[in-house]
Amino acid sequence: MTFGNYSRRNPNCTSSKNVRMIKKLPSALLAIPALLLLSGCNLVVMNPSGDVAIQQRDLIITSTVLMLLIIVPVIVLTLFFAWKYRESAKAEDYDPEWHHSTRLEMVIWSAPVAIILMLGTVTWISTHRLDPYRPLERIDENRQVTADIKPITVEVVAMDWKWLFFYPELGIGSVNEFAAPVDVPINFKITGTTAMNSFFVPALAGQIYAMGGMQTKLHAVINKEGVYDGISANFSGPGFSHMRFKFHGLSQQGFDQWVAKVKEGGKGFGRQEYLEFAKPSEREPVQYFASVDPELYSAILNRCVEPNKLCMRDMMHIDANGGGGKEGIDIAKALNSVVCTPLAPYGVASGPQSTPAAIKGQTFEPAALPETKQVAG
């Protein structure tokens, strides 16, 4: 008897194979509890609490279903044809000389074109309706924004590696936490300090970038009370993973109590406090500011919080007027000793420091440029 015949006929060989299969079962069974654990996950993007995020979820579902209308039939037909025309099959309609079918061509070309047209229409409509810069027109699918509903403004500053929130209408601020009343539109004004970040509360609305020297806007509303997670969705350095904050959706009474808590337990926050706070730090605890310099956010946006620094908007104003020549240089020197304020019109220097006499109360008009002689060609 050869070794090969022995291995096939010996029952011990078969039993050893069974033993190996049984040993593999525990590792396969371990995957079942892991899958069951996933059933407890909260897919917040697909189960949001804000109307804007709900519309974005519906857009994701609609787009996915439209694409699956093509993908699923293609996969099914691929498997069907592979099975029907397999080598061992005896298909009666097998025709190796077949090369064309008008009906099949119509289906193959018209279906994708129809799907593309539908996707394009949905994308066009949703892009305009869900524009983050567009003020909200509705609270939810059943209620519209009326004239008696006053939005709340929240100014957001992304820093290394924490979030700073200002309420200009209330004169308060906070770190790594903010709140808003339910069913009240929120107008976000968002900027940054150094690296580009991304402001994202998945339950509220889509993410939007926060960049230094630039301002982005977001309009959103929260429809359910709760505490929601907020993150930076854009890598910005070693403290990025801990750059998180909490958003509290509260009733009007609860929001009033939160504001009172901030005013009672907070401290003042001005330019000097900001410059100290702006130093990079991680895992910054929640802090409250009972009073905030009303000009601070504009100074952060225009990158002129530091004393004796020309504000970016004034610099752009001078550049937009041709630079002003020699007189423009004198204006820039005078502006270096003035702190930019958000209340001053473009080109008007004002602020807590004394205004130089050379530009006091004056707008910065461009100096007359030297005339150029036309040379005959």
- For residues 234 and 340, state if they share a domain: no
- For residues 163 and 244, state if they share a domain: yes
Residue where one domain finishes, among candidates 301, 333, 352: 301
To the nearest whole number, what is the mean pLDDT of the chain? 81
In sequence order, the 6+-apart residues with CB closer than 8 A to the CB of 347 are 314, 317, 318, 363, 364
Strands 138-140 and 226-232: unpaired
Residue 17 reports pLDDT greater than 80: no
- Within a domain: residue 137? no
Residue 350 reports pLDDT greater than 60: no
Residue 105 reports pLDDT greater than 70: yes
- For residues 169 and 289, state if they share a domain: yes
Q: Which of 208-222, 254-268, 347-361 has the lowest average pLDDT?
A: 347-361
Residue 8 reports pLDDT greater than 50: no
Residue 283 reports pLDDT greater than 90: yes
Q: Which two tokens stand for residue 265?
A: 């337990």
Tell me how long the chain is.
Answer: 377
Three-state secondary structure readout of the chain: CCHHHHHHHCHHHHHHHHHHHHHHHHHHHCHHHHHHHHCCCCCHHHCCCEHHHHHHHHHHHHHHHHHHHHHHHHHHHHHHHHHHCCCCCCCCCCCCCCCCCHHHHHHHHHHHHHHHHHHHHHHHHHHHHCCCCCCCCEEECCEECCCCCCCEEEEEEECCCCEEEEECCCCEEEECEEEEECCCCEEEEEEECCCCEEEECCCCCCCEEECECCCEEEEECECCCEEEEEEECCCCCCCHHHCEEEEEEECHHHHHHHHHHHHHHCEEECHHHHHHHCCCCCCCCCEEEEEECCCHHHHHHCCCCCCCCCCHHHHHHHHHCCCCHHHHHHHHHHHCCCCCCCCCCCCCCCCCCCCCCCCCCCCCCCCCCCCCCCCCC
Q: Which two tokens stand for residue 29?
A: 């069974």
- For residues 192 and 276, state if they share a domain: yes
Q: Number of structural domains, the chain?
A: 3
Dihedral pair phi/psi, residue 208, rounded to 5°: -145, 145
Q: Which two tokens stand for residue 323?
A: 């630079």
Q: Cα–Cα distance between 319 and 125 in angstroms, integer?
A: 38
Query: What percent of the chain clears pLDDT 70, i.e. is strictly above it?
Result: 73
- For residues 170 and 232, state if they share a domain: yes
- Within a domain: residue 95? no
- For residues 285 and 155, state if they share a domain: yes
Residue 341 reports pLDDT greater than 50: no
Q: Confidence class of residue 1 from pLDDT cuts 50, 70 and 90? A: very low
Residue 30 reports pLDDT greater than 70: no
State the pLDDT at residue 97: 77
Q: What is the pTM of this model?
A: 0.74
Residue where one domain finishes, among candidates 78, 94, 129: 129
Of 245, 249, 221, 252, which is closest to residue 231 (Cα–Cα)? 245
Place of tokens 């107008």: 187
| Most confident listed range (113-127, 150-164, 315-329) | 150-164
Q: Cα–Cα distance between 220 and 206 in angstroms, integer?
A: 9
- Within a domain: residue 158? yes
- For residues 213 and 323, state if they share a domain: no
- Within a domain: residue 222? yes
Q: Which of 184-188, 218-222, 239-243, 327-331 has the lowest average pLDDT?
A: 327-331
Average the pLDDT over 280-294 and give the result.
Answer: 95
pLDDT digits (tens, 9 = 90+) for 142-151: 999 999 999 9
Of 297, 361, 296, 299, which is closest to residue 334 (Cα–Cα)? 361
- Within a domain: residue 14? no
- Within a domain: residue 375? no
- For residues 79 and 175, state if they share a domain: no
Residue where one domain finishes, among candidates 284, 301, 318: 301
- Within a domain: residue 258? yes
Average the pLDDT over 1-15 and give the result.
Answer: 46
- Domain coverage including residue 359: 308-363
Please report, for the domain that includes residue 248, its CATH number: 2.60.40.420
Q: Cα–Cα distance between 158 and 48 in angstroms, integer?
A: 23
State the pLDDT at residue 334: 57
- For residues 189 and 269, state if they share a domain: yes
Residue 281 reports pLDDT greater than 70: yes
- For residues 180 and 288, state if they share a domain: yes
The DSSP bridge partners found for residue 191 are 157
Q: Which of 169-178, 269-278, 315-324 has the lowest average pLDDT?
A: 315-324
- For residues 198 and 326, state if they share a domain: no
Residue 200 reports pLDDT greater than 90: yes
- Cβ distance 229 to 246 under 8 Å? yes
- Within a domain: residue 36? no
- To the nearest 10°, report the CA torsion of 339, 344, 346, 350: -40
The CA distances from residue 163 to 93, 117, 167, 232, 234, in Å, are: 68, 41, 13, 9, 14
- For residues 216 and 259, state if they share a domain: yes
Per-residue burial over 156-185, b = 16 or more CB atoms within 10 Å of its CB, e = otherwise: bbbbbbbbbbbbbeeebbbbbbbbbbbbbb
